[in-house]
Every structure is written in C-alpha cells, then in structure tokens.
Amino acid sequence: MSDNVMNKHDHVLAGLVFSLQAMTMQQLGKLQDPQTGQVHRDLDGARGTIDILEMLKAKCRTDTPPDLLRLLDGAVMDLQLNYVDERKREARERQQDGDGA
C-alpha cells in the first residue's frame, strides 16, 4: 500500500481479502490445505467465495483507499482466471475419463 493512511477497518478488510483469496486458491486445488497437507478441488465452493469477494468490491467503492480497492480488484481477477482454468481442467479430465472408459 502506498502513502494512503489505512484505518482499522481498512486493515481488517485487507486481511479478509487475503484470507478469502487463500481459501479460494485451496478450493481451486492450487494450494494445499495447511491442516491436512492435502490438495482438494471444490469448484462450487470457490465460485461462492469469489462471489463474496465480488460483492465486497461492489460494496466497498466508497470510503476505501485506492490501494485497497486495487488489491481487491486484483484478487478477484486472479481468482476468476484461476477458476476458469480449473473448470477447463475439470472438463478435460472428464473427457479423458470418458474416452478411456
């Protein structure tokens, strides 16, 4: 973040964005679950978490420092791109499973 002064709520929002972003990357199967060390995909859950971040983007357009808005925008964009990538991977895997059966 640049010279913009962030208040307590801004710091909490930034922490929430980072937390939701990490959770979504786990749901997309891009990161291990830190508790189990396993990698699982839950694309429906990921879509729901991305929807939450999109809602936050819409609701936070006023009284939010520009750097924090850029963080939120970037997180949503990155997660959306990864979500599309995982949906394509899932479709390829289904197709391969169908071809091999």
Q: Return the HEC string of the chain.
A: CCCCCCCHHHHHHHHHHHHHHHHHHHHCCCCCCCCCCCCCCCHHHHHHHHHHHHHHHHHCCCCCCHHHHHHHHHHHHHHHHHHHHHHHHHHHHHHHHHHHC
63-75 pLDDT, tens per residue?
A: 888 999 999 999 9
* Domain ranges within the chain, ordered by starting residue: 8-95
Domain 8-95 in CATH 1.20.58? The answer is yes
49-64 pLDDT, tens per residue?
A: 999 999 999 988 888 8
Contact predicate 68/14, CB 8 Å: yes
pLDDT of residue 53: 95
The arithmetic mean of pLDDT across residues 61-90, rounded, is 92
